[in-house]
Amino acid sequence: MLPGDKSISHRYAMLAGFAEGTSRLMNFSTGEDPHSSLGCMQAMGAKVETVGRTIEVTGTAGVLAQPVGNLDCGNSGSTMRMLAGLVAAQAGLYRFVGDESLTVRPMERIRKPLEQMGARIELTEGHAPMTVRGTPLTAIDFETPIASAQVKTAVLFAGLQAKGTTSIAEQVRTRDHSEHALRAFGARLERKGDRLSIVGGQKLRAIDATVPGDMSSAAFFLCASLLFEDSNLVLDALGMNPTRAALLDVISAMGGVIKVLDVQETYGEMVGTIQVNRGKTLRGIEIAGTLAAQLIDELPVIAAIAPYTDGGVRIRDAKELRVKESDRIALVVKNLRTMGAEVTEHEDGMDIPGGQKLRGGVIDSGLDHRIAMAFSIAALRAEGETEIRGAEAASVSFPEFYTWLDELAIR
């Protein structure tokens, strides 16, 4: 079973820490980022205990304590952005810090809507460190200027505590894990078309839940299965949320043959078992517009296998890749060229011709987990040995990645 979904684990950690009672979270993500969220909740009064493979979180019943020191978000932008919404209505002062890469990631995007609600937020030239001074909030009607599930979540978490009904309209539908998680913990939300609303003053209650396997982690092995004609990959208990399932459509379009062997629903999340084989050819694809937003985390590994396709891969409308843990467009282009590929860089994407052969080389991960893992997959069919510098960055989201890769490669 894949490690628990990173996005869902973040949200469960925060809401469990905010709810009344003790939540039991099975298959919680083993990645460092969601554990940063757990650590921050613990610093604000939640009790966290590991019992075997279960994380038990006793919440604060909606009243967070002012932390003694800084809230350390590590490498996790998700932790910093979403928790800003949760603490904005709480009494006290909350100072968020993180590692070097987190201090250059944009935080202005969450300050604007939260300040419209009455929050007081101080940034350092638009970035972390970030200080939030808690204050009573008032509901707003907010239209998201960018496709960001983290911004939406920050506003929902603030709206949960605000006076009135907060509504959010999305131009591009983003991941809906926060909506499902809030409902799982007892909150009432309403969706009409592209507008989502939440009434303030609601209380949350603890849950027992199993976190589905992470689709973004699965992406690396799904792409690896496309590289070999005799591949046969079965993934159990995989999160198949429709707002994340665009990846499966892309794998099919590139030549993967996918069979859904089982599917069920748990707390609004679809969970299933899939089998993946490769067809006769590995086809190229164009990814742009809404699809690029839906696949923003998976684009590096799709790009990394693009030279092996017959028609190449064209990526556009993915400028958000430049403000992740690294400039992922620049690093993908740099590393593909290191491996001998022809690639054209654009401000919002890249063009990677197909029919190319890659050779081993020294890969610069930029200490970015998705770059390290993506080029480990590209290296599977490269001629010669590939060295991934900063390979340990994979532990941010998937500490078991290299063990899994070894096992699957042997099979």
Residue 349 CB partners (closer than 8 Å, separation 6+): 288, 292, 314, 315, 316, 317, 318, 319, 321, 329
How far the first Cα of the chain sits from its last, in Å, is 16
pLDDT of 60 over the 90 cut: yes
**For residue 344, is it within any domain?**
yes
Stretch 203-232: mean pLDDT = 96
pLDDT of residue 409: 73
- The active-site residue, picked from 297, 310, 348, 351, is 297
- Grade residue 14 by pLDDT with cuts at 50, 70 and 90: very high
Residue 297 among the catalytic residues = yes
pLDDT of residue 171: 84
pLDDT of residue 194: 87
Q: In this structure, what token pair is assigned to residue 23?
A: 């939540």
Stretch 310-333: mean pLDDT = 97
Are 224 and 181 members of one domain?
no
Are 94 and 159 members of one domain?
yes
Say what percent of the chain tops pLDDT 90. Answer: 93
**For residue 206, is it within any domain?**
no
pLDDT of 411 over the 70 cut: no
| Tens-digit pLDDT profile for residues 148-168 | 999 999 999 999 999 999 999
| Tens-digit pLDDT profile for residues 358-406 | 999 999 999 999 999 999 999 999 999 999 999 999 999 999 999 999 9
Distance from the Cα of residue 59 to its chain's centroid: 24
Residue 263 CB partners (closer than 8 Å, separation 6+): 240, 270, 271, 272, 273
Task: Look at 26-30, 89-93, 120-124, 144-148 and tell me which has the smallest mean pLDDT.
Answer: 144-148
pLDDT of residue 410: 56
Beta strands 71-72 and 93-97 are parallel
Are 223 and 178 members of one domain?
no
pLDDT of 193 over the 90 cut: no
From 149, 175, 199, the end of a domain falls on 199
Are 326 and 396 members of one domain?
yes
What's the rounded Cα separation, in Å, for the pair 173 and 192? 13
Q: Read off the CATH number of the domain in which 406 is found.
A: 3.65.10.10
From 152, 173, 199, the end of a domain falls on 199
- Tell me the β-bridge partners of 198: 166, 189
Q: Which residues of 89-123 are buried (b: 16+ CB within 10 A; e: fewer)?
A: bbeeebebbbbebbeebbbebbbebbebbbbebeb
pTM, two decimals, is 0.94
The answer to whether residues 344 and 362 touch, using CB atoms and an 8 Å cutoff, is no
The answer to whether residues 120 and 130 touch, using CB atoms and an 8 Å cutoff, is no
Split into its structural domains, the chain has a count of 2
Domain of residue 380, residue span = 215-410
| Tens-digit pLDDT profile for residues 161-187 | 999 999 999 988 889 999 999 999 999
| Tens-digit pLDDT profile for residues 239-293 | 999 988 899 999 999 999 999 999 999 999 999 999 999 988 999 999 999 999 9
From 168, 199, 230, the end of a domain falls on 199
Are 41 and 118 members of one domain?
yes
Q: In this structure, what token pair is assigned to residue 213?
A: 């396997």
pLDDT of residue 146: 87
pLDDT of residue 319: 96
What's the rounded Cα separation, in Å, for the pair 401 and 202? 39
Residue whose structure tokens are 């499902």: 180
A 10 A CB-CB count for 330 gives 14
A 10 A CB-CB count for 211 gives 29
Are 381 and 269 members of one domain?
yes
Query: Mean pLDDT score of the chain, rounded to an integer?
Result: 96
Are 135 and 230 members of one domain?
no
The answer to whether residues 94 and 66 touch, using CB atoms and an 8 Å cutoff, is yes
Stretch 347-366: mean pLDDT = 98
pLDDT of residue 264: 96
